[in-house]
Structure 1
Amino acid sequence: MLVMSLALLVVLIVVLSWVAFQLYAGTEKLSTQNASSPHLIPTRQAHVPTSTIANATPVPQVTPPRSDSAMTYDPLHHVVLLFGGTTTEATDAQQTNETWAWNGHGWKQLHPASSPPALQGTMVYDAASQRVILFLYQVQSAGKVANEMWSWDGTTWQQLYPETMPEAVGASMAYDEARHEIVLFGGGVPSMRTVTLINTTWTWDGMNWRRQYPATSPSPRSGAAMTYDAAHQQIILYGGAGDGSGASSVASETWIWDGMTWQQHNGAGIPFQDQNVRLVYDSVTQQTLLFGATNSDATWTWNGSQWVRTTAHGAPTTPYLSASAYDNAAQSVIVYAAQGDSKMGATPVSQTWIWNGTVWKLQP
């Protein structure tokens, strides 16, 4: 009897040791693959890195004030992420590569081990790979654009190296939740003294960019507002800067991407003729908000076929409106802006605005 008990004990120890070894080997293998691969594999994570803002003391505003930042919400770490921008002081305006996070109460500058260069770009959350994706661009010479892609895991930035990369400045980007891919549209390619606008459509599947050839496309433009409308399962594109030909009506056009082609909504109302507007989808009210025109502080919503003015006054309005996102944790739209034009003698001031579904409120 004693011999049998000892035998069973030995077998149990061997089995447990083998299981422990397999778990350790699997963890090491996964870690090595993630460290060496230039691409991120769109799989669910068993372990989510702790955000560097978790134990940080926030401050009221981003400093110094800046324009043209990229911003999106990171649902894994429950913060709104802001990257880069151009500081707006008249005596010391420069590009920055700082990373900031909004936790619902204030801003905190993060200090990741690795950071993208100080370039302009656009940013969205890629639910397929569970990463924030940053698309940057830099004009190297006439006709040559150097684009970069980076991803954020909650702790640091990692550069991606897809085989195919769109070449454009001022492109618009949004994540298509229905089709689990990022859509990038338009922008421009610089020539000797001008920028040639384009109207190409690209999609990102988590590994590489693929050019699409829709039957219908918006005319060439840059800086258009674009977001995903979950209520109608479509991407909405509004406005942008065209080439100036004709009536220059692109600033008030509304286009819809259904995953296959673009469709213009004629007679959908003309809220603004302004290339500086912003689009954000409010998941609580299930409405897409349009706001931020230079000469109007009205807020409009999209009902699937036309624009409806929700409020006549109160929205943030400034030519230096830089970034906006929907904060899922706080269930509100957040806007960061640098109010004031240093070229006109005004001192720029950082502003954070919150939309609670009914009214806009400027944070102290």
Structure 2
Amino acid sequence: MAETWIWDGASFAKLVLATNPPALNFPNLAYDAKRRQVVLVLGGEIGTNTWTWNGTNWTVITPPVSPSLRDRTTAAYDKRRERVVLFGGTKYGVGNLNDTWEWDGATWQEIQPATRPSAREGHTMVFDEARTELLMFGGRFEPGTWIWDGTNWVDRAPMNSPSRRGYHGMAYDPLRQHIVVFGGEAEPNSIFVSDTWEWNGSNWIQSFPANSPQNRHGQTAVFDPHTQSVLLAGGSDDVNRYHDVWFLNGNNWVQAGTNFIVTTTNDFGPGSMREAILNANTNGGRDTIRFNIPGAGVQTIRPQSPLPAISEPVTIDGYTQPGASPNTSSNQINATLLIELDGSFLSVTQEIPGLNFVAGSQGST
């Protein structure tokens, strides 16, 4: 499908654009931090153009040099060297590849390392910020945890490792300084799995969450700065195509829940803040309370009695109120906040500190 979707920290929204890249098979995205744009890398037999996304529009680039046609490849941004690195994939009529390419913002350059991993497909790469190195893992069904140093690939050969697999989800968690791997298509017998592993810089350690997404492959994993957690989206098995979203909340996976919209400053009734909290408490998953209260300026909610205790994971996102905007400066506060929660109508004898979080609400923001 030739569609573009944006995740805002609470839900996906489809964008209506004048130009989209064509429908691709197993495309790959990498964020180029130096040039502040997303690079769309290949994906099928439709050409070797490179597309970039600036947050508003897609632009097609025809560089003088490009990798050959392929899909099922992987690419990631090497923050230390300020290059997007691509490795391997599948070329129709040829098979799997093990070539290495780098994108400098204008063209692709093939690198000829003396040591390189075997040809593979369905592998993943992420930049390990804690150790300032680019890590590649997996591939259907190729072994190894590999580091790209800009000249050569180095096999880390850890003592422990997930089973050989491809089409898994992998993301770097900067808060915990670990790389997280979930699921994929694994040996033996090409089974779909739902295990969770973390790379600490020298070894893979399996974790055992109380809850996990279903067995799957082809999912996407990224770190979501809005929720401060690793996000896992989509994937499929032999029967199902999953459209769900999960967050790794510490050592547990929490499924994203429902958006509850506050549309009035009234204390009770449909569209109230009170009703949104009650609904989030009774709904499964990690819900989001959003705001769409009519009127200009600051909207003030004044509870007449204590609001319900928050007992389930929930994000209360005041930036969703029309006209609000988050902070964009590193040295000053320039956010625009248009939702005010005012407890002045509550009796001082009630000693209400504000929003009350109780057991079960871990992960609320």
Q: Take 1:124 and 1:106, find their aligned partners in 2: how far apart are those partners?
A: 21
Instruction: Indicate whether 1:287 and 2:229 are aligned.
Output: yes
Q: Take 1:202 and 1:116, find their aligned partners in 2: how far apart are those partners?
A: 21
Coordinate RMSD, CA, aligned = 2.8
1:61 shift after superposition: 4.1
Q: Take 1:61 and 1:287, find their aligned partners in 2: how far apart are those partners?
A: 31
* TM-score (norm. length: structure 1): 0.61
Select the structure with the greater relative contact order (CA < 8 A; seq sep ≥ 6).
1
Q: Of the candidates 114, 135, 154, which is equivalent to residue 163 of structure 1? A: 114
Q: Take 1:96 and 1:306, find their aligned partners in 2: how far apart are those partners?
A: 41
1:85 partner SS:
coil
Q: Is the 8 A contact 2:139 2:166 kept in 1?
A: yes
Show the counterpart of 2:212.
270
Q: Of the candidates 211, 218, 242, which is equivalent to residue 296 of structure 1? A: 242
1:237 shift after superposition: 0.5
1:154 partner SS:
coil
Letter in 2 for 1:150: W
1:255 shift after superposition: 0.6
Instruction: Indicate whether 1:114 and 2:65 are aligned.
Output: yes
1:129 shift after superposition: 0.6
Specify which structure has the higher proportion of helix.
1
Q: Is the 8 A contact 2:69 2:91 kept in 1?
A: no
Q: Of the candidates 26, 30, 44, which is equivalent to residue 68 of structure 1? A: 26
Q: Is the 8 A contact 2:211 2:253 kept in 1?
A: yes
Q: Take 2:20 and 2:50, find their aligned partners in 1: how far apart are those partners?
A: 10
1:129 partner SS:
coil
Q: Take 1:357 and 1:302, find their aligned partners in 2: how far apart are those partners?
A: 23
Instruction: Indicate whether 1:129 and 2:71 are aligned.
Output: no
Letter in 2 for 1:255: W
Show the counterpart of 1:25.
none
Q: Is the 8 A contact 2:70 2:92 kept in 1?
A: no
Q: Of the candidates 143, 147, 165, which is equivalent to residue 203 of structure 1? A: 147
CA change 1:152–1:139 in 2 (3 A) is closer
In the TM superposition, 1:1-364 aligns within 5 A as: 60-86=18-44, 94-120=45-71, 121-138=73-90, 145-167=96-118, 168-188=120-140, 197-245=141-189, 248=191, 251-294=193-236, 295-311=241-257
CA change 1:242–1:157 in 2 (3 A) is same
Gaps of 5+ in 1: 1-57, 87-93, 189-196, 314-355, 360-364
Letter in 2 for 1:241: E
Q: Is the 8 A contact 2:212 2:254 kept in 1?
A: no
CA change 1:81–1:141 in 2 (3 A) is closer
Letter in 1 for 2:36: H
Structure 1 window deviating more from structure 2 (71-80 vs 94-103): it is: 94-103
Q: Is the 8 A contact 1:285 1:357 kept in 2?
A: no
Q: Take 2:105 and 2:87, find their aligned partners in 1: how far apart are those partners?
A: 17
**How many residues in Structure 1 have an aligned counterpart in Structure 2?**
243
2:49 partner SS:
strand
Gaps of 5+ in 2: 1-15, 260-316, 321-365
CA change 1:148–1:245 in 2 (3 A) is closer
Q: Take 1:127 and 1:279, find their aligned partners in 2: how far apart are those partners?
A: 18
Q: Take 1:71 and 1:111, find their aligned partners in 2: how far apart are those partners?
A: 17
Q: Take 1:107 and 1:200, find their aligned partners in 2: how far apart are those partners?
A: 35
Q: Take 2:27 and 2:318, find their aligned partners in 1: how far apart are those partners?
A: 24
Per-residue Cα deviation, 1:50-86 (whole angstroms, up to 9, x for no partner): xxxxxxxx95443421121111111111111101112
CA change 1:175–1:154 in 2 (3 A) is same
1:199 shift after superposition: 3.2
Letter in 2 for 1:305: N
1:105 shift after superposition: 0.8
